[in-house]
Structure 1
Amino acid sequence: MKRNLLAASVALSIFTLVGCSEKEPELTTSIQQASYGIGLNMGQSLLQDGLDDVDTQALALGMQDALSGSEARVSEKDLIAAFGELQTRAEERANTQNVEALEANTAYLVENAERDGVITTESGLQYEVIESGDADGAQPKVSDVVSVHYEGKLTDGTVFDSSISRGEPIDLPVSGVIPGWVEALQLMRVGDKWKVTIPSDLAYGPGSPSPLIPPNSVLVFDMELLGIQQDEE
């Protein structure tokens, strides 16, 4: 995280310096656009760490001193202590947000379980049959590769991934997805369309593969099992 703090600090320093100039730089050349993209990624990293109140003027001053070769105005000892305090504060904020998210998600799952047609499995997975395939249709095994159309959303309706919008189903191994998908796919039959609500502990938990998915998120998927390709082994 300290590396993220330093990198994002550089990005915000650059932004501050730009803001002090008479006009914003053009973003027409590949170098300008790539430079902007690097700064954008670094800034987003800082925000993900919960550090949205950094003093950008102090950041700009540090950048100017570094570029001019001036002596640092803060000792290394004080810098290390300051970064430690900043990291601790960010972690405390993240922990608070995680607790709040878990509480909200627990309430959501309780309410969703009470809706007509929603089935809750022993693991806590919830699913609703939207459309049924053939009653004698094949069911995937954990060793199978399946073809699926899906759209993944957060509980507020935000779409974070969708093969449907891309217009292309995805082929994937049943054993290679999140636990909620592993369970749901083995319950479905070819042709089934389900709405599947996955508790965070059956999804990504406190971790996340994308900034679009906050830690401890309940994930809601519209899933259609299109087919099964038997594992050659």
Structure 2
Amino acid sequence: MKSLIKMTLISSAMVFALAGCNENENASTGKLTISTDAQKESYALGSSFATYMKDNLDQNEIQTDLEYLIGGFEETYRGASQLSEDEIKKTLNAFRERVEKESKARFEKEKTENTAAGEKFRQEFAKQKGVKQTKSGLLYQIIKEGNGRHPTADDSVIVHYVGTLTNGQKFDSSYDHGETATFPLKAVISGWTEGIQLIGVGGKIKLVVPPELAYGDQKRGGQGDKPGIGPASTLVFEVELLGIDGDDSQQSIQPLGHEEKVKPSAEPQQ
């Protein structure tokens, strides 16, 4: 957290110094005029810092007063800081403690909510027709058995999948990536390692994975408009087993509901 705050503040100061203290500002548009390679390099550096700063501030829900952030940089750079080194140290230490406390409170709240939501979802899913539970706590519903061989934990599988949270929000999908996913079963969450072995090639299965068989209390950030995975999240997957890597005769099976075969990916999506 200490390095995060330090780097975020440095990034903030530098980007606004580069963008806001340049005398080459176009008065009519309010934008900088980029005329030289040096200006372009500085602008690109500032843009990179801004992206880093925004991502980290948003992730940690940190609010800053940009006017005073820029002012603190400018005045200190010119040797006219209104705060002594001791005041700055004490202020940033208090700031770090507050941010850590607020972050921990948000984490615990999210974990409690996800735990309750997951337990409720799993209880309701367990009542559905054909749902079974393994000794580990994995819930599954076989949609189609599949006619090919069942993979083992030592196999690499070729799949299509959709992953959602218990509220129905989709956080990942191989269909959205436009290609299948190929990966060793030992390299994914244990709920997948266990669950995919329950069907044969050509089959489809729905997995409801409790957090202890998924990512536990880890948080995994989302991408773009896709939500992230919060702590203690129960995850829901629908997976089509299209083939087992190396079994060439089994890789021609079509994804359910799709007319054309999609080229398998060389990298795991999970």
Structure 1 and Structure 2 fold alike (TM over 0.5): yes
CA contact (8 A) 2:146 2:200 kept: yes
Q: Which residue of 2 aligns with 1:213?
A: 229
Is 1:50–1:93's contact at 8 Å kept on the other side of the alignment? Answer: no
**Distance change in 2, residues 1:213/1:24 (3 Å):** farther
Classify the secondary structure of the residue corresponding to 2:236. Answer: strand
SS in 1 for 2:135: coil
CA contact (8 A) 1:16 1:57 kept: no
Does structure 2 conserve the Cα–Cα contact (< 8 Å) formed by 1:11 and 1:43?
no
- Which residue number in structure 2 is paired with residue 155 of structure 1? 166
Q: Work out which of the residue numbers 140, 145, 167 in structure 2 matches 1:132.
A: 145
User: Whole-Å Cα distance in 1 between the matches of residues 138 and 33 of structure 2?
Assistant: 47
What is the correspondence of 1:96-115 to structure 2 with a 5 Å cutoff?
A: 96-115=109-128
Any residues of structure 2 matched to 1:33-52 within 5 Å, and which?
Answer: 35-51=46-62
Determine which of 88, 97, 103 is the counterpart of 1:90: 103
Greater mean deviation of Cα atoms: 98-107 or 179-188:
98-107
Among 164, 168, 176, the residue aligned to 1:165: 176
- 1:42, CA displacement in angstroms? 2.7
| Mapped partners of 1:190, 1:27: distance in 2 | 59
Number of residue pairs the alignment of both structures matches: 228
Tell me, in whole angstroms, the C-alpha distance in 2 between the residues paired with 1:27 and 1:208.
Answer: 41
Residue of structure 2 equivalent to 1:4:
4
Q: Which SS does the other structure have where 1:42 is aligned?
A: helix
Distance 2:178 2:192 in 1: 20
Aligned partners of 2:208 and 2:150: how far apart in 1?
Answer: 20
Name structure 2 gaps, 5 residues minimum.
Answer: 35-39, 223-227, 248-270
SS in 2 for 1:190: coil
Q: Name the SS for the 2:183 alignment partner.
A: strand
Residue 81 (structure 2) pairs with residue 65 (structure 1): no
Q: Which of 215, 224, 228 is the aligned partner of 2:240? A: 224
| Secondary structure in structure 2 of the residue aligned to 1:140 | coil
In 2: Cα distance, 1:27 partner to 1:180 partner: 54
Q: Kindly tell me: are residues 107 and 68 of structure 1, through their superposed partners in 2, closer, same or farther at Cα, counting changes over 3 Å?
A: farther
- Give 3-state SS (helix, strand or coil) of 2:206's partner: strand
Which residues of structure 1 form unaligned runs of 5+? none
TM-score for both structures, normalised by structure 1: 0.80
Per-residue Cα deviation, 1:125-163 (whole angstroms, up to 9, x for no partner): 1222222312xx311111111111112222233322222
1:96–1:208 distance in 2 versus 1, CA, 3 Å:
closer
| Structure 1 residue 26: Cα displacement | 7.0
Structure 1 distance, partners of 2:150, 2:169, is: 30
Counterparts of 2:195 and 2:180, CA distance in 1? 17
Query: Of the candidates 176, 192, 205, which is equivalent to residue 181 of structure 1?
Result: 192
Shift in CA distance, 33/215, structure 1 to aligned 2, threshold 3 Å: farther
Aligned AA (2:199): M
Q: Percent identity?
A: 33
In structure 1, C-alpha distance between the alignment counterparts of 2:33 and 2:198, rounded to whole Å? 51
Is the CA contact (8 Å cut-off) linking 1:195 and 1:221 kept in structure 2?
yes
Q: CA RMSD in A?
A: 3.3
1:4, 1:42 within 8 Å by CA — same for their partners in 2?
A: no
8 Å Cα contact 2:158/2:181 also seen in 1: yes
| CA apart distance, 1:69 | 4.0
